[in-house]
Amino acid sequence: MNMKAHLDQLGIQAENPGVQIGASSASIGATISSLSPADGKTIGATGVCSAADYEKAIAAATEAGKEWRTVPAPLRGEVVRLYGEALRHHKDALGALVSYEMGKSLQEGLGEVQEMIDICDFAVGLSRQLYGLTMHSERPGHRMYEQWHPLGVVGIISAFNFPVAVWNWNTALAWVCGNACIWKPSEKTPLTAVACQNIWNEVTADMEHVPAGLSCIIQGDYQVGEMMTQDKRVAMISATGSIRMGKIVAQAVAARLGKSLLELGGNNAIIVEPDAELKMVVPGTVFGAVGTCGQRCTSTRRLIIHSSIYDQVVEALTSAYSQLRIGDPLDENNHVGPLIDKDAVGMYEQALKSVVEQGGKILVEGAVLEGAGYESGCYVKPAIAEATNDMAIVQHETFAPILYVMKYDTLDEAIAMQNGVVQGLSSAIMTTSLRSAELFLSAAGSDCGIANVNIGTSGAEIGGAFGGEKETGGGRESGSDAWKSYMRRQTNTINYSTELPLAQGIKFDF
């Protein structure tokens, strides 16, 4: 694959700005280098946002929000539609960059860009459906209704594992809702953000009704993110990342009584019932566990298998794992690419040690791969470990391709195991029993924000609201009525009579 041609198409230079305000940018200054986990080579670098540059960006975003909120919502939707069309044009190049900079397979990189396109399509329709309600007033000659207004500026902090899609889940909705956006991408995947901004600039270059500060990017580490989380001018922070990071962000935003939307860790499980069909269990589990090299918030971490079929399922999974092809993510023949960096490799190795130390058993051996094609040092073998749900390492979200398998005897026991972690993002049950499926989906079933039947835990469709409960954060992005997170609700009462009756029948004579 000619990555240089893709980088040129996306406008990626050897050195790229650390701050982008529309098509304007700040000087380079200090830099962040982006190294591909696929081959260990430097792709390029970006500058780092300074405090002074941040002030320029937030000032521009604040003014843009004031202007953009007066643009009719369907016209805002038209801009997002055109951005979606541009993403279609650049899909191959951007998908390849996602794969090369992050390490996920090319198919997954292209799929991530397709999610961007899909959310743009969703947002276009939404721009004509920002509905409020009408209510009957208890006072004669009065009318009540509610409407939704833009927040102003929405700050977005994204993670490396979905470097472009999660940003666009937020921006597409925030833009049609009338907000400006300022984005701090992961310092591990800075160039995909530059590419997205360059595409945006292509689309809006000649649009007089699109203010420059509508889309801003600030590059850097957590200190740059803190500028946003502590800034009262940023009405809402949408943050994706670890539980630890989310708690820090939540406290900072709450301290100024701001609004936050958190998409944090997952410790997702699939329950396998005795009547489950192996032809569905195996592919659903394998993709969930090894897709993106186990670095999805929705990755399958735990497989809770009925004791009567435990050996059969483990044998089938072991056979499937032996067929996995690990290597260059840009080679479509490979199933699994690398971890994001050597720090992630270290955590993977420590997790496997912890399994044994805590009484577990390795069923499919893991290893760090070496030799030709693995020079980056970031390639590992997906592993399967026999464990119990109460083990400390199982309770922890390990962002790596390690699957923990365990037994159960009754469905109530399995559901208790599924729910017996602090995270609450995604969950699934494999069964042909209507009773089991309905129990799993009931109030007495899964406590996760996502609960599936006969599909895995990994992935979600644009049309549904995405997010989880408990220490996953409680936020919702993407479909359904998630758009309301990016707006403020206002209740309105109009008196069209010639009298002024008070509410609740109160009399106030003078």
- Catalytic annotation, residues: 263, 297
Rounded Cα–Cα distance for residues 364 and 380 (Å)? 12
Rounded Cα–Cα distance for residues 97 and 80 (Å)? 22
* DSSP structure string for 352-414: HHHHHHTT-EEEE---B--STT-TTS--B--EEEE--TTSHHHHS---SSEEEEEEESSHHHH
Instruction: Copy the structure tokens of residue 183.
Output: 């984005």
All residues at 6 or more sequence positions from 342 whose CB lies less than 8 Å from its CB, including other chains: 377, 378
CA 32 to chain centre: 23
Q: Kindly state the DSSP code that residue 486 receives in the 8-state scheme.
A: G
* DSSP structure string for 164-232: THHHHHHHHHHHHTT-EEEEE--TTSHHHHHHHHHHHHHHHTT-TTS-GGGEEEE--SHHHHHHHHT-T
All residues at 6 or more sequence positions from 278 whose CB lies less than 8 Å from its CB, including other chains: 312, 313, 316
Look at residues 87, 227, 118 and name the one whose alpha carbon lies nearest to residue 459: 118
Q: State the amino acid at position 220 in one-letter form.
A: G
Q: Contact at 8 Å (CB) between 23 and 201?
A: yes
The terminus-to-terminus CA distance of the chain in angstroms comes to: 83
Instruction: With H, G, I as helix, E, B as strand and everything else as coil, classify residue 16.
Output: strand
CA 385 to chain centre: 27
Q: Contact at 8 Å (CB) between 430 and 272?
A: yes
Query: β-strand 259-263 against 236-240: which pairing, if any?
Result: parallel
Rounded Cα–Cα distance for residues 340 and 212 (Å)? 33
Q: Contact at 8 Å (CB) between 59 and 21?
A: no
Query: What Rg value do the Cα atoms of the chain yield, rounded?
Result: 24
Strands (E), 14-163: 15-16, 19-21, 24-25, 31-35, 42-47, 134-135, 142-150, 153-157
